[in-house]
Amino acid sequence: MYIGVPTEIKNNEYRVGLTPSSVAELISHGHHVFVQKDAGMGINFSDQDYIDIGAKILNNASEVFAKSEMIIKVKEPQENECAMLRPGQILFTYLHLAPDLKQTQALMNSGAICIAYETVTNDAGQLPLLVPMSEVAGRMSIQAGAFALQKSNGGSGLLLGGVPGVEPAKVVIIGAGIVGQNAAQMAIGMGANVVILDKKISALQHIDELFNGRVRTIYSTKDALKRHVTSADLVIGAVLVHGAAAPKLVSKAMIKEMKKGSALVDVAIDQGGCFETSHATTHENPIYIVDDIVHYCVANMPGAVARTSTQALNNATLPYVLKLADLGYREAFRQDKHLLNGLNVFQGKITLLEVAQAHKLEHKEPALVI
């Protein structure tokens, strides 16, 4: 198969769809890989690194899209990238379609076969291609929150862990999944007072066992959520609903009651955000203030640590890329129901129920359309 890796073009996005090591693995299976010039330069993967293992360097994205049967990316395709897709071409990347009608329609119009990393499943009911970026984003959320709390950024001027004689900040994490667990690990390490809320008792039990009681676990009701959010110094939004837009758990009214200079970090912003006042920001301009509360809502948080993120993501995605390339998409889908769950758009049809429901579009069962 002919596989293409274009340069990521989202603001301050330096990750790359395939590392040289992953490209070498694909070439060893007999596939051909086209890499856009300087695609890996942001994380010190040179064109020569790719050439040395057998990839071909192409000058621009249009060449990569035109010559490739499958496109491997990191972030959702931008408008001009959607326009370069063609019927029957495979796109494998993060998509986050539920909050993005414009991209959904563009992918439908392209006639391409669009598979989303974030909806591929496994036997344990997990999202294995979302896990590595959730780990990174969870850990980054605490350092982003510490940055937002600095007085120079509009924050209250608190040090998360305090110092001897001064109590630490209260960090409230909404969601006890992978993001929440990793956020808690970092917050505890920095000495903060940590509270996690979730509706799944099993998830709270896991947190309690994982951190040996060093995190307060709270069953999430409207009353509990309001009580802990309004008394927090830093709130991490770590909720995820498979394939769907994130629920707006923290209202404008609740945010108005928070302490002046407190901070919110919305890790769910890729799926629309879980704070009512959230809107996506960039690494270039990461924060804004609403009602004296500092908001950090960067939509590609792991892009700030692009080399670590790229390597972690490739570790997870490469087996699926190989399966698609070795077998072709139809046989790969037939053999792997979890990969089929990653199919969001197939030649103009919406195949993920949550996306169809979010945009009030017709849904087609993926097994019936392939």
The 3-state secondary structure of 178-229, one letter per residue = HHHHHHHHHHHHCCCEEEEEECCHHHHHHHHHHCCCCCEEEECCHHHHHHHH
Residues 6+ apart with CB under 8 A from 285: none
Task: Give, as one character, the DSSP assignment of residue 250.
Answer: B
**How many Å apart are CA 361 and CA 294, to the nearest integer?**
36
282 contacts 75 by C-beta, under 8 angstroms? no
Long-range contacts of 116-119 (CB under 8 A, 24+ apart): 116/243, 116/342, 116/344, 116/352, 117/92, 117/93, 117/313, 117/317, 117/342, 118/94, 118/243, 119/242, 119/243, 119/341, 119/342, 119/344, 119/352
What the block records as the tokens of 42 is 């942001």
Residues acting as catalytic residues: 96, 270
144 contacts 265 by C-beta, under 8 angstroms? yes
Neighbours of 48 (CB within 10 A): 9
